[in-house]
């Protein structure tokens, strides 16, 4: 096993352990008790889903056109 594999392998194992352990705990009071938290219930960015759908639609048409041309 070379150094690259060993070093990054340890990072992977440690990171997964940190994620699986720390992820289940609630965030600190400092994080939770703020007045400027994101309001995930607002529909402010709702239109982005539509834009994404349009982009995928254009992409599908372009792929079809390319396939027909070839």
Partner 1 sequence: MSKHNALQMFGRSGNPALNDNTFRNEGRVIGQTMTLQGTVNKTGLLLSILVLTAMYTWNLFFQTGNPAAVMPIATGGAIGGLILALVTIFKKTWSPITAPIYAALEGLFLGGISAIFEYQYPGIVIQATGLTLGTLASLLILYKLGIIQPTENFRLMIVSATMGIAVLYFISMIMNMFGSTGIGFIHSNGLFGIGFSLFVVAIAALNLVLDFDFIEQGAEMGAPKYMEWFGAFTLMVTLIWLYLEMLRLLAKLRSR
Chain residues binding partner 1 by CB under 8 A are 2, 4-5, 7-9, 11-12, 14-16, 18-20, 22-32, 34, 36-49, 51-53, 55-56, 58-59, 62-63, 66
Q: Cβ of residue 6: shortest distance to partner 1, in angstroms?
A: 10
Supply angle C-alpha 11, 12, 15, rounded to 5.
80
What is the torsional sign of CA 57, 61, 64, 70? negative
Closest CA to 22 of 31, 41, 38: 31
Closest approach, Cβ 30 to partner 1, in A, equals: 3
What is the nearest approach in angstroms of partner 1 to the Cβ of residue 64? 11
């Amino acid at each position: 096993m070379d150094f690259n594999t060993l070093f990054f392998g340890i990072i992977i194992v440690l990171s997964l352990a940190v994620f699986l352990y720390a992820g289940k705990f609630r965030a600190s009071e400092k994080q939770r008790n703020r007045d400027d938290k994101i309001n995930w219930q607002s529909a402010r960015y709702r239109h982005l889903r539509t834009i994404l759908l349009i982009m995928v639609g254009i992409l599908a048409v372009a792929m079809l056109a390319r396939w027909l041309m070839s």
